[in-house]
Amino acid sequence: MKTDENGKLHPGLLSSIETHNPREVKVTMDTNGILYWPVMFLYPEHTETDFIQTFCENHR
């Protein structure tokens, strides 16, 4: 993704990111410039999924 001269993303850039998820959740950015993504974990061996609406890019 492109950033400004300070290495920060412009919030307007997020409107062009397409996500396909069950709840149509969008990628968002907080006031500190931290991104939050919708994430789906698939567990095919158990035929289960987990959906996290706002997964912080800083989570480990």
- Kindly give, in sequence order, each residue whose CB lies less than 8 Å from that of residue 13, ignoring residues fewer than 6 positions away: 1, 2
Residue 49: inside a domain: yes
Write out the residue range of the structural domain in which residue 27 sits: 23-60
């409107």: which residue's tokens? Answer: 15
* Confidence (pLDDT) at 42: 93
Phi–psi pair at 15, nearest 5 degrees: -70, -20
Mean pLDDT of the chain: 78
Please report which confidence band the pLDDT of residue 60 belongs to, taking 50, 70 and 90 as the band edges.
low
The SS3 of residue 56 is strand
Q: Is residue 1 part of a domain?
A: no
Q: 9 near 25, Cβ under 8 Å?
A: no
Q: Does residue 2 lie in a domain region?
A: no
pLDDT at 46: 93
Tens digit of pLDDT for each residue in 31-47? 888 888 888 899 999 99
Determine, yes or no, domain membership for 14: no
Is 13 a member of any domain?
no
**What does the pLDDT read at residue 21?**
65
Task: Report residue 60 CA to chain centroid gap.
Answer: 14
**Count of the separate structural domains present in the chain:** 1
